[in-house]
Amino acid sequence: MPCEICGCPNVKWLRVSTVARHFACSTKKVRRLIKSGCLLGVRLGREWRVDHASVDRLVQECSLVGDPRPPQ
């Protein structure tokens, strides 16, 4: 069952590719958001995972200001 806030699968840690696919952006953009601190991410071996709560928080912040895009 998908998350009610962001529509992503209902798991604690999401793959970068999953987040990118749900928000129609590149994986590079998602990794930039992790690096800038907009999203919380951890590296597991060669792969990054994104904290689902940080994705929900970003979606809510963007919807509050009326901008559908994440901050640059």
- The confidence score (pLDDT) of residue 65 equals 57
Residue 1 in any domain: the answer is no
Residue 7 in any domain: the answer is no
pLDDT in tens, 12-64: 999 999 999 988 999 999 999 999 999 999 999 999 999 999 999 988 887 75
Cα gap 2→31, rounded to integer Å: 22
The model's confidence at residue 68, banded by pLDDT at 50, 70 and 90, is low
Q: Which structural domain, as residue segments, surrounds residue 35?
A: 13-65
Cα gap 25→12, rounded to integer Å: 21
Q: What is the pTM of this model?
A: 0.79
> Which has more confidence, 21 or 72?
21
Cα gap 63→41, rounded to integer Å: 22
Considering its fold, how many domains does the chain have in total?
1
- The confidence score (pLDDT) of residue 26 equals 95
> Which has more confidence, 23 or 2?
23
